[in-house]
Amino acid sequence: MSAITLDGRELGRTIEKDLMSRIDDLKAKGVSPHLAVVIVGDDPASHVYVRNKEIACNRCGIISTRIDLDSTVSEQDILKVVERLNSDESVHGILVQSPLPPSIDESLIIDTISPLKDVDGFHKMNLGNLVQGDRSGLLPCTPAGIMKMLELSDYETSGKNALVIGRSRIVGMPISILLAQKGIDSTVTVAHSRTKNLADICLQADLIIAAIGRAEFVKSEWVKPGAMVIDVGINRVPDPTRKSGFRLTGDVDPEAAKNAGWISPVPGGVGPMTIAMLMSNTVLATEFLSR
Amino acid sequence: MSAITLDGRELGRTIEKDLMSRIDDLKAKGVSPHLAVVIVGDDPASHVYVRNKEIACNRCGIISTRIDLDSTVSEQDILKVVERLNSDESVHGILVQSPLPPSIDESLIIDTISPLKDVDGFHKMNLGNLVQGDRSGLLPCTPAGIMKMLELSDYETSGKNALVIGRSRIVGMPISILLAQKGIDSTVTVAHSRTKNLADICLQADLIIAAIGRAEFVKSEWVKPGAMVIDVGINRVPDPTRKSGFRLTGDVDPEAAKNAGWISPVPGGVGPMTIAMLMSNTVLATEFLSR
């Protein structure tokens, strides 16, 4: 038996198509959704991500503005850019691409973005909403994309044992809060680098979210037959057979597809869902700001 | 073998004593820590809680002001009181006693309190801090009290299987976020009313936090021998042998003391710790605001 592969590209396009009528309604009111992306320095992976976000905006009819800043830019100057975008009424979404140079306080930058324009969903106010049990606002894109993926796959979360491997503020913590909420109702375990007997814990999980950032960390034999496996990792591993010299792989051993019931692969799984949810957040922010 | 009982009253006094020198430093600078408590209506339990908070302020040398509002007060009028306290520079901590009458939007009231004066730690901003992994701000008092109780008992949390039963925004969610954080490093499971096989899950836990609000819900035989059991529940159950007609009991069957290694009892466990952390938050807020 082999797992059903969840096609993040196809599901992502479904979400984007569902946004079209809302975008048309906004445009009929004279409002064009507009995402501003700030990128600092020339990290190649960051530039690929930002480019993919611009392409998605294009596809959806969302205006995108890109602000390129030199890697030597001061924290003060980034804050000025964010404040200018906060007060620019033609801009509805602001995203500062991570990572920032080590001299910059990333939390300070994120928390300076207006919470109403924080389409990444990383602002304290938006994360705090989650803890209060409110899912109606701007949710972090990757966790929101995972929830949408489960929903569109008709996966019943209630009463399931969900295991989240990884405790980042971007993926692990918010997805574990979401899964435990009323109406989602999973029993949620958060595991991490200090967890003991992870293999045993994993074998009890109906739903595994792997977001620890280690290549093929979750072994095939840790996966309970029939489990739903969502692989969030994107790791570069050396591969001399490739022209680039590397290949992309997730946090889950690809052999797990033999045990799992469903699997969200890398690439082509959570990545496109994250971008679709960024589009969704930009439309939501525009609707709210133009009320 | 019988469990070691954690004495919340004694531990709470230790915390309060440790605050004395910080309060003295503030007073030497001409600043007197000042907590304002808003109470709406005449719920007897709420009045007992507020009275206990006033007594603690007295004990610590913190000024307390109590604002009694009639149960028929409008949301608008409560908001006005909060805004007046926000702008009153002589007030450093503001607490609106829960529950509020059903017609009042409690979240709106809480999120109107200045996050810098939110000594209950329930404001979105302060809950969002937690998700970002920051424990330096105003933490919700009961979760902070549990963490302090574990710390003062020299309980090693790293690598332990912690089970949180209950998912409230006041206790369950914030304590599960805290326990999973770097430096605390427990593997955390959040269970709730929709969890299946809770007895089995419970038997695997080294640390049990019972905060589901059901009298003696956690059975003695669910507790692994030697486990640390923190009982957060305060439930009134009928007891004709008492003059009052009821007795207070926790969320854990008292028989569990036979299996557990340590137990935080009800009453006399988490309750006094919560009040001590409220005093601690008030001092922290005063220090921050008078910088």
Which value does ipTM take for this structure? 0.95
B181 touches chain A (CB under 8 A): yes
Residues A110 and A144 reside in one and the same domain: no
Q: Which of B125, B167, B187 sits opposite A191 (nearest CB)?
A: B187
* Domain presence at residue A183: yes
Please name the residues in contact with A164: beta carbons below 8 A apart, sequence gap of 6 or more.
Answer: A172, A175, A176, A179, A188, A189, A190, A191, A209, A211
Q: Which residues pair with A92 in a beta bridge?
A: none
Q: What is the pLDDT of residue A2?
A: 86
* Domain presence at residue A96: yes
Residues A52 and A166 reside in one and the same domain: no
State the residue for tokens 């021998």: B225
A185 touches chain B (CB under 8 A): yes
Residues A99 and A45 reside in one and the same domain: yes
- Distance, CA of A207 to CA of A185 (rounded, Å): 13
What is the average pLDDT score of chain B? 97
pLDDT in tens, B123-141: 999 999 999 999 999 999 9
Number of structural domains found in chain B? 2
pLDDT in tens, B221-256: 999 999 999 999 999 999 999 999 999 999 999 999
Q: Which of A123, A134, A182, A194 to mutate to test the interface with B (most CBs of B within 10 A)?
A: A194
- Distance, CA of B5 to CA of B257 (rounded, Å): 8
* Domain presence at residue A265: yes
Residues B78 and B150 reside in one and the same domain: no
Residues A87 and A169 reside in one and the same domain: no
* Domain presence at residue B16: no
CATH code of A60's domain: 3.40.50.10860
- Its pTM stands at 0.96
- Distance, CA of A60 to CA of A151 (rounded, Å): 22
Q: Residue B168, CB half-sphere, CA atoms under 13 Å: how many?
A: 13
Q: What is the pLDDT of residue B1?
A: 63
pLDDT in tens, B175-206: 999 999 999 999 999 999 999 999 999 999 99
Residues A205 and A261 reside in one and the same domain: yes
For chain B, the first-to-last Cα distance in angstroms comes to: 51
Provide the greatest CA pair distance for chain B: 57
Angle between helix axes B8-28 and B141-152 (nearest 10 degrees) is 110
pLDDT in tens, B258-280: 999 999 999 999 999 999 999 99
Q: Which residues pair with B246 in a beta bridge?
A: B238
As a whole number, mean pLDDT of residues B51-80 equals: 98
Residues A148 and A65 reside in one and the same domain: no
Contact A109, A69 (CB under 8 A): no
> With an 8 Å Cβ cutoff, are A192 and B180 in contact?
yes
Q: Residue B248, CB half-sphere, CA atoms under 13 Å: how many?
A: 11
N residues, chain A: 291
CATH code of A213's domain: 3.40.50.720
Chain Cα centroid distance, residue A247: 21
- Distance, CA of A110 to CA of A95 (rounded, Å): 9
Respond yes or no: is residue B53 known to be catalytic. yes
Q: Read out DSSP for chain B?
A: --PEEP-HHHHHHHHHHHHHHHHHHHHHTT---EEEEEEES--HHHHHHHHHHHHHHHHHT-EEEEEEE-TT--HHHHHHHHHHHHH-TT--EEEEPSPPPTTS-HHHHHHHS-TTTBTT--SHHHHHHHHTT--SS---HHHHHHHHHHHHTT---TT-EEEEE---TTTHHHHHHHHHSTTT--EEEEE-TT-SSHHHHHHT-SEEEE-S--TT-B-GGGSPTT-EEEE---EEEE-TTSSSSEEEE-SB-GGGGGT-SEEE-SSSSHHHHHHHHHHHHHHHHHHHHT-
- Distance, CA of A145 to CA of A143 (rounded, Å): 5
pLDDT in tens, A78-95: 999 999 999 999 999 999
Residues B37 and B154 reside in one and the same domain: no
Residues A112 and A170 reside in one and the same domain: no
Q: What is the pLDDT of residue A1?
A: 62
Q: Which of A132, A180, A195 sits opposite B190 (nearest CB)?
A: A180
Contact A86, A117 (CB under 8 A): yes
* Domain presence at residue A55: yes
Contact A151, A196 (CB under 8 A): no
Q: Which of B194, B200, B207 to mutate to test the interface with A (most CBs of A within 10 A)?
A: B194
B182 touches chain A (CB under 8 A): yes
* Domain presence at residue B99: yes
Question: In chain A, what residues touch B131 (CB-CB under 8 Å)?
Answer: 124, 127-128, 130-131, 169, 173-174, 177
Residues B163 and B238 reside in one and the same domain: yes
Divide the 291 residues of chain A into consecutive groups of 10 and give the mean pLDDT of each group: 93 98 98 98 94 98 98 97 98 97 96 98 97 96 98 98 97 98 98 97 98 97 98 95 94 95 97 98 98 92
* Domain presence at residue A288: no
Residues A112 and A144 reside in one and the same domain: no
The boundaries of the domain holding residue B233 are 140-271
* Domain presence at residue A207: yes
Residues B144 and B266 reside in one and the same domain: yes
| CA proximity to B61, closest of B37, B88, B26 | B26
